[in-house]
């Protein structure tokens, strides 16, 4: 397919020439291996075509060939910056089919991992957004901050990036000795550093100039095209899976759904800033209200776990939107079918056709970062 | 309204359908051989405005594909799974793009992975698999081990070359 590897001139008039331009997969503004192939006149985009599949690892097929417990090691790899919602959604769906309720301590520990993962993902997301505008120091500072949380992940779960912490029936291990106090201290530090993020990023005139009016979407259209999570709440629409379809420990925690008016990239950045603060508060609540007792239900030999025949859909609010797992079991030791609903697909593969034409090449990276488009979760 | 009320409301209009509430907030609808766009338009008018995904399950023994629509209502906080069984040898179903435009991408993916033809969808070209020439890979009769041996000369999982 020679037309995929050459940059081609696709049209010429006496005034201008149209070129086909590859934005990705090896572009500094692209997260993950994915490309938009855009037709440009000057630097204005005329038409966009997606070139996905470079991260397609066949996970859905692979999961049908593994045992129910073996899949736990595959699932976090579907979303690299925010892996825990995958585990939680898979385990919640399995628990629905098994008809079990996990112990309260297990629920709180699961929520703790989810919220910590949300913090790391927000830091990466805000940092990427800054980097896309040339504010690289913001990204380096935020990646440093993210590392502080990864140290705690290593302490809690034994792994930094792919935690494999939730399992059907609860979580893998209990909270270590001394973890609570040090985690609360870290939350104070993170909250203190928010002032630095404000000065570096959110009060920076650069981001107001670059983000205002990029990718504006109204709530009705956002719902229609399936936008979820912070991007939907940034249009002023009140929806949050943690409240609407509660899972883990969220029914026991006090929080409100935060929204921002506007619906453009600036509103989405402000929304993430607000939710970052809310997440810090949620972690404090989780640690302070942590109940005693067991943290998992014993389900017998994990290699012989059978899940009753049937199907279930479970959704989890990730830092990018709704992560959903549709699981079908035929009563065997392996899943019959697992279908993953990633949060980036509606924006990354559909909405790009509506938003990108008319925009400039420089704004593609900002548009992607503001919608938190993460290619691994639609390629799978 | 909870999931029992929603199930009653759907049953009042679609009397022959198998509608059953399950778990705390889910409803399952078995919709074989009926106008799927009409049913989903009715469900959408009840307040189910969010399409989570469109996917497919291959029931090879029953010679059937189940096309699955997962929809969610932000107003009622209820989830509906609509399963539409179609013939495995001639998998065709109308597109629901008119209701949810992003369904175009999900249908394109399902077409690529299962070979289900969505009538009316303007673009069903391959999305993830470049230069794929075999049967659609998520079908149950696609054997990954056999394929990797044939296409790449891979050795057997037990070890040793064949």
Kindly tell me if the per-residue pLDDT of A337 is higher than 80.
Answer: yes
pLDDT at B162 over 50: no
Structure-derived torsion over alpha carbons of residues A173, A174, A180, A182, reported in degrees to the nearest 10: -40
Mean pLDDT (whole number) for A208-236: 89
CB–CB contact A58 B55 (8 Å): no
Q: A134, exposed or middle or buried, with CB in 10 Å at 0-12, 13-18, 19+?
A: exposed
CB contact under 8 A, B128 and A52: yes
The predicted-structure confidence for A316-326, as pLDDT tens digits, reads as follows 999 988 999 99
What is the rounded (10 degree) CA torsion for A343, A346, A347, A351?
Answer: -170
Query: Is residue A59 scored above 50 in pLDDT?
Result: yes
The 3 state secondary structure assigned to chain A is: CHHHCCCCEEEECCCCEEEEEEECCCCCCCCCCCEEEEEEECCEEEEEEEECCCCCCCHHHHHHCCCCCHHHHCHHHHCCCCCHHHHHHHHHHHHHHHCCCCCHHHHHHHHHHHHHHHHHHHHHHHHHHHHHCCCHHHHHHHHHHHHHHHHHHHHHHCCCCCCCCEECCEECCCCCCCHHHHHHHHHHHHHHHHHHHHHHHHCCHHHHHHHCCCCCCCHHHHHHCCCCHHHHHCCCCCCCHHHHCCCCCHHHCCCCCCCCCCCCHHHHHHHHHHHHHHHHHHHHHHHHCCCCCCCECCCCCHHHCCCCCEEEEEEEECCCCEEEEEEEECCCCCCCEEEEECCCHHHHHHHHHHHCCCCEHHHHHHHHHHCCCCCHHHHC
A20 DSSP β-pair partners: A39
> What are A92-104's pLDDT values in tens digits?
999 999 889 899 9
Cβ of residue B54 closer than 8 Å to a chain A Cβ = no
Query: How far is it, in rounded angstroms, from Cα A278 to Cα A119?
Result: 10
- Is the pLDDT score of A331 beyond 80? yes
CB under 8 Å to A314, separation ≥6 — which residues? Answer: A89, A90, A92, A93, A96, A247, A324, A325, A327
- Asked if the C-beta of B148 comes within 8 angstroms of chain A's C-beta atoms, the answer is no
Give residue B157's pLDDT: 63
Residues of chain A with pLDDT > 90: what percent?
A: 24
Whether the pLDDT of residue A17 is over 80: the answer is no
For residue A214, the model assigns a pLDDT of: 87
Residue B79 three-state SS = strand
Look at residue A185 in the predicted model and tell me its pLDDT: 92
- How many other β-carbons are positioned within 10 Å of the β-carbon of residue B32? 13
The distance of B129 to chain A (nearest Cα, Å) reads 6
Q: What is the pLDDT of residue A7?
A: 62
Place of tokens 């399409």: B51
Locate the domains of chain A by residue range: 2-51, 59-379
Q: Among partner residues B74, B105, B137, which is closest to A345 by beta-carbon distance?
A: B105
Least confident of A29-38, A127-136, A137-146, A224-233: A29-38
Torsion of CA A68, A74, A79, A84, to 10 degrees: 50
pLDDT-derived band at B156, boundaries 50, 70, 90:
low
User: Which CATH number does the domain B3-152 belong to among 3.30.450.20, 3.30.70.260, 3.30.460.80, 3.30.70.580?
Assistant: 3.30.460.80
Q: Do A350 and B130 touch (CB under 8 A)?
A: no
Cα of A377 vs its chain's centroid, Å: 9
- Ramachandran bin of B29, using left for φ above 0, alpha for ψ from -120 to 50, beta for the remaining angles: beta
pLDDT at A21 over 90: no
The CATH number of A59-379, from 1.10.10.10, 3.30.70.20, 1.10.645.10, 3.40.640.10, is 1.10.645.10
User: pTM for this structure?
Assistant: 0.89
What is the pLDDT at residue B68? 92
Residue A341 has pLDDT above 80, yes or no: yes
Domain ranges of chain B: 3-152
Can you give the C-alpha Rg of chain B in angstroms? 19
Among the partner residues A56, A313, A346, nearest to B102 by beta-carbon distance: A346
Task: Order across the sheet with B64-72: list the strands.
Answer: B18-22, B26-30, B79-87, B64-72, B50-59
**Which residue shows structure tokens 């640690």?**
A287
How many Cα atoms occupy the beta-carbon half-sphere of A161 within 13 Å?
Answer: 7
- Per-residue pLDDT tens over the stretch A263-319: 888 999 999 999 999 999 999 999 998 888 888 888 888 888 888 998 999 999 999
Axis crossing angle, helix B36-45 with helix B3-13, rounded to the nearest 10: 130
User: Residue B159: its pLDDT value, please?
Assistant: 58
Instruction: Give the residue from A78, A229, A311, A331 with the most B CB atoms within 10 Å of its CB, the best one to mutate.
Output: A311
**pLDDT of res. A213:** 85
pLDDT in tens, B70-113: 999 988 889 999 999 898 888 889 999 998 998 999 999 999 99
Whether residue B74 and residue A244 make contact (CB cut-off 8 A), yes or no, is yes
Q: Is B20 on the interface with A (CB under 8 A)?
A: no
């Amino acid at each position: 397919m020679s037309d995929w590897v050459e940059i081609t001139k696709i049209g010429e008039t006496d005034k201008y020439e149209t070129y086909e331009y590859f934005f990705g997969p090896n572009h500094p503004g692209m997260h993950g291996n994915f490309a938009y192939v855009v037709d440009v006149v000057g630097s204005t985009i005329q038409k966009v075509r997606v070139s996905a599949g470079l991260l397609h690892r066949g996970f859905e097929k692979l999961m049908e060939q593994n045992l129910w417990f073996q899949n736990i090691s595959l699932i976090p790899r579907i979303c690299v910056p925010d892996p825990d919602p995958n585990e939680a959604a898979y385990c919640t769906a399995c628990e629905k089919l098994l008809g079990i309720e996990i112990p309260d301590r297990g629920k709180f520990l699961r929520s703790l991992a989810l919220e910590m993962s949300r913090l790391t993902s927000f830091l990466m997301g805000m940092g990427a957004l800054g980097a896309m505008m040339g504010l690289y120091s913001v990204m380096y500072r935020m990646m440093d901050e993210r590392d502080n949380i990864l140290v705690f992940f290593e302490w809690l779960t034994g792994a930094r990036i792919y935690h494999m912490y939730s399992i059907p029936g609860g979580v893998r291990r209990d909270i270590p000795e001394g973890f609570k106090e040090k985690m609360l201290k870290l939350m104070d530090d993170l909250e203190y550093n928010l002032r630095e993020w404000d000065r570096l990023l959110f009060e920076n005139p650069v981001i107001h100039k670059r983000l205002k009016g990029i990718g504006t979407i109204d709530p009705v259209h956002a719902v229609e095209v399936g936008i979820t999570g912070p991007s939907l709440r940034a249009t002023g629409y009140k929806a949050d899976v943690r409240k609407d379809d509660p899972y883990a420990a969220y029914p026991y925690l006090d929080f409100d759904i935060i929204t921002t008016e506007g619906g453009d990239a600036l509103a989405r950045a402000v929304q993430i800033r607000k939710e970052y603060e809310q997440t810090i508060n949620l972690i404090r609540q989780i640690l302070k209200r942590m109940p005693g007792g067991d943290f998992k239900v014993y389900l017998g030999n994990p290699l012989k776990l059978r899940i009753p025949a049937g199907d279930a859909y479970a959704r989890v609010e990730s830092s990018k939107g709704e992560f959903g797992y549709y699981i079908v079991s035929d009563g065997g030791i392996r899943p019959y079918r697992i279908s993953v609903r990633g949060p980036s697909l509606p924006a990354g593969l559909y909405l790009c056709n509506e938003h990108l034409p008319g925009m400039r090449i420089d704004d593609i990276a900002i548009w992607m970062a503001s919608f938190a488009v993460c290619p691994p979760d639609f390629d799978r | 309204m909870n999931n029992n009320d929603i199930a009653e409301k759907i049953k009042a209009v679609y009397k022959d359908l198998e509608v059953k509430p399950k778990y705390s907030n889910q409803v399952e609808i078995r919709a074989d051989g009926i106008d799927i766009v009409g049913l989903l338009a009715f469900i959408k008018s009840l307040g189910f405005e969010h399409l989570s995904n469109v996917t497919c399950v291959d029931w090879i023994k029953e010679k059937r594909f189940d096309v699955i629509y997962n929809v969610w209502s932000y107003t009622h906080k209820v989830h509906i799974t609509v399963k539409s069984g179609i013939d495995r040898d001639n998998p065709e179903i109308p597109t629901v793009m008119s209701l949810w435009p992003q369904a175009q991408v999900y249908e394109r993916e399902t077409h690529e992975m299962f070979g289900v033809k969505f009538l009316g969808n303007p673009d069903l070209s391959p999305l993830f698999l470049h230069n794929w020439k075999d049967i659609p890979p998520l079908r149950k009769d696609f054997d990954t081990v056999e394929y990797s041996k044939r296409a790449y000369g891979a050795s057997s999982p037990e070890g040793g070359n064949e």
